[in-house]
Amino acid sequence: MTKATLQHTGMCQFPVRHNNLVIGGIALSRLAQRVGSTPFYAYDRQLISNRVAELRQAMPADLKIHYAMKANPMPAVVQHMAGIVDGLDLASAGEMKVALDTPMHPENISLAGPGKRPQELSQAIAANITINIESFHELETIAQLSETTGIQAHVSVRINPAFELKASGMKMGGGPKQFGIDEEQLPAVLKRIKALNLDFNGFHIYSGSQNLSADAISESQQKSINLAISLAGHCPAPLKKLNIGGGFGIPYFPGDTALNIQQVGDTLAESMVPFKTEQPQADVIIELGRYLVGEAGIYVCQVIDKKISRGQTFLVANGGLHHHLAVSGNFGQVIRKNYPVAIGNKMAVTEKELVSIVGPLCTPLDILADKMELPVAEIGDFVVVYQSGAYGYTASPIQFLSHPVCTEILV
Ligand SMILES: *Cc1c(COP(=O)(O)O)cnc(C)c1O
């Protein structure tokens, strides 16, 4: 493994052997042979396990760690995750099906999202999972379904807090939002829950995604805990669960620095003390998607053409934004920046050239890398996009331009 290669890509979670990136202990060229065709996504199960273990080390011992499935709902990944986390958080009945196929106990599964359809709610009630209520109307629908089916529903209230998560890539709380019920309306909603025959579990507060600032996350966690303390007097029953969200980010671009989870953990341990004193029976939960899987996955495609247009070299790949919208810069980014990219079978090649890597779609949006310095690549070489384990395949417009789908593997 050459130092220069690592500095070049900035990524070091995967080792390098004889010019090849190694994933799950297998050299990329060999792995591609095994898969049989490109493009594909590959996720490394050991890296996922390591990530969860490191997180547990840094967090308070009694904190529960949940996996938010929408980041990567591949069934094999969710199965693996079910064995190493304390719960699964879902955003649809489709995700619920995958979650219920795992050994995870329904008591540790919850469903969130605005606009849950009555059928989804009734499926969730029958499954005995916790539903995070996001509106007054939804509350009444749940109560009715619970009554007609004769199954008591387990509910938490998702709160849209008055505060915002600072420095976040995507804000999902604070101000007017479609998510959750405004903090100011909580006394009224809790009073209504008390009048209905529902099993009240607690609160869910999720403020945003892709945050690399330990200070901002800690501040939001502390405010969430204080909010729960201030509302405890209005609750119909003692709190069983307080889900304070997640939002832990991963570095994608030059200048991004990894989140300091030890700092987050230490501060959270302090913030939890007054809550644990008042509500010793309640579990405090964080729910993470991207942070647990994002760095463990790569997207792999192959160069199928190389051409020069007015002095600029283009590598045309057989994969693109239809499989990986985020790498093209069209998933939550304001200004497009290059994801870390490598030529996965030329990791130690020192001869470099400036190239743009584009996908096969007939649109100028289909860019994998814009004017990047990479080892000189030829037709057949493997283009690897790092940091692709979260919000990759299922967050992409797979049908756009009717190209072939791609494979996902867990190694
Ligand atoms: C999307 C989402 C998550 C996961 O967010 P990450 O940034 O991937 O950790 C967690 N909880 C809820 C409610 C979500 O909508």
In this structure, are 15 and 121 located in the same domain?
no
Shared domain check, 340 and 268: no
Note down the domain range covering 368: 3-44+295-410
3-class SS of residue 75: helix
Of 270, 288, 306, the residue at which a domain comes to its end is 288
- On whether both 118 and 266 belong to a single domain, the answer is yes
pLDDT digits (tens, 9 = 90+) for 9-25: 458 999 999 999 999 99
Q: Is residue 98 part of a domain?
A: no
**374 CB contacts (<8 Å, ≥6 apart)?**
341, 342, 343, 352, 353, 355, 357
Q: Which residue has its alpha carbon closest to ligand 1 atom 3?
A: 68
- Given a cut of 70, whether residue 390 has pLDDT beyond it is yes
- Domain identity same for 238 and 301: no
Q: Kindly state the average pLDDT of the residues 188-208.
A: 95
pLDDT at residue 332, as a whole number: 86
Query: Which protein residue has the closest C-alpha to ligand 1 atom 4?
Result: 289
Task: Note whether residue 88 is domain-resident.
Answer: no
Contacts of 25 (CB under 8 A, 6+ apart): 411
147 with 261, same domain: the answer is yes
How many CA atoms, within 13 angstroms, populate the side-chain half-sphere of residue 399?
A: 0
What are the tens digits of pLDDT across the range 135-161? 999 999 999 999 999 999 999 999 999
How does pLDDT run across 105-118, given as a tens digit for each residue? 999 999 999 999 99
How close is the Cα of 166 to the center of ligand 1, in Å?
16
* Main-chain dihedrals φ then ψ at residue 199, nearest 5 degrees: -90, 105
Percent pLDDT > 90 in the chain is 91
Q: Identify whether residues 283 and 326 lie together within a single domain.
A: no
Q: Are residues 261 and 334 in the same domain?
A: no
**181, pLDDT greater than 70:** yes
Q: Does 392 share its domain with 308?
A: yes
What's the token pair of residue 131?
């539903």
Q: What residue has token string 């307080």?
A: 242
Q: Is the pLDDT of residue 404 over 50?
A: yes
Residues 151 and 125 sit within 8 Å (Cβ to Cβ) = yes
- Name every residue whose Cβ is closer than 8 Å to that of residue 101 and which is 6 or more positions away in sequence: 75, 79
Q: How far is the CA of 163 from the centre of ligand 1 (A)?
A: 18
The crossing angle, in degrees rounded to 10, of helices 93-100 and 118-127 is: 20
Atom of ligand 1 nearest to the CA of 206: 13
- Tell whether 145 and 241 lie within a shared domain: yes
Quote the ligand 1 centre to 4 CA distance (angstroms). 35
At residue 11, the pLDDT reads 85
Structure confidence by residue, pLDDT tens digits, 283-337: 999 999 999 999 999 999 999 999 999 999 999 999 999 999 999 999 988 899 9
Q: What is the 220 CA–ligand 1 centroid distance (Å)?
A: 15
Position 160 in a domain = yes
The more confident residue out of 167 and 130 is 130
Q: Is residue 363 part of a domain?
A: yes
Last residue of a domain, one of 288, 308, 342: 288
CB 212 within 8 A of CB 256: yes
| Same domain as 330, residue 315 | yes
Total domain count, the chain = 2
* pLDDT attached to residue 114: 96
Residues 388 and 39: beta-carbon distance below 8 Å = no
Point out the ligand 1 atom lying closest to the alpha carbon of residue 170: 7
Q: Give residue 115's region: left, alpha or beta (phi > 0; psi -120 to 50).
A: left
Domain membership flag for residue 85: no
Ligand 1 centroid–CA 152 distance in Å is 27
Among protein residues, the one with the nearest Cα to ligand 1's atom 2 is 68
Enter the DSSP assignment of 296.
Answer: G
Residue type, 187: P
Pocket-forming residues, ligand 1, beta carbon under 6 Å = 68, 70-71, 89, 91, 112, 206, 209-210, 246-247, 287-291, 390
Residue 397 sits in a domain of what CATH number? Answer: 2.40.37.10
Looking at the structure, tell me whether residues 223 and 149 fall in a common domain. Answer: yes
Q: Looking at the structure, tell me whether residues 338 and 256 fall in a common domain.
A: no
Residue 387 falls inside a structural domain: yes
- The whole-number pLDDT of residue 247 equals 93
Q: How far is the CA of 239 from the centre of ligand 1 (A)?
A: 22
The answer, yes or no, to whether residue 2 has pLDDT greater than 60, is no
Cα-based angle 390, 331, 407 (whole degrees, multiple of 5): 45
By the 8 A CB rule, do 139 and 186 touch?
Answer: no
Domain boundary pick from 288, 320, 349? 288
How would DSSP label each residue in 108-162? GEEE--SS--HHHHHHHHHHTPEEEE-SHHHHHHHHHHHHHHT-PPEEEEEEE-S
**Nearest ligand 1 atom, CA 249:** 7
Find the mean pLDDT for residues 177-203: 96
Give the pLDDT of residue 166: 78
The pairing of beta strand 64-68 with beta strand 87-90: parallel
Contact at 8 Å (CB) between 208 and 169? Answer: yes
Q: Do β-strands 154-160 and 199-204 pair in parallel, antiparallel, or remain unpaired?
A: parallel
Distance (Å, whole) CA 5 – CA 11 = 9
CATH number of domain containing 132? 3.20.20.10
Do the beta carbons of residue 386 and residue 9 sit within 8 Å?
A: yes
What is the residue whose two structure tokens read 């996922």?
48
Report the amino acid identity of residue 146. Answer: S
pLDDT at position 1 over 60? no
174 pLDDT exceeds 90? Answer: no
- Residue 49: is its pLDDT beyond 50? yes
pLDDT digits (tens, 9 = 90+) for 214-272: 999 999 999 999 999 999 999 999 999 999 999 999 999 999 999 999 999 999 999 99
Q: Is 50's pLDDT higher than 50?
A: yes
Residue at 52 is within a domain: no
Contacts of 217 (CB under 8 A, 6+ apart): 165, 211, 247, 248, 259, 264
Q: Is residue 359 part of a domain?
A: yes
- Pairing status of strand 130-133 against strand 109-111: parallel
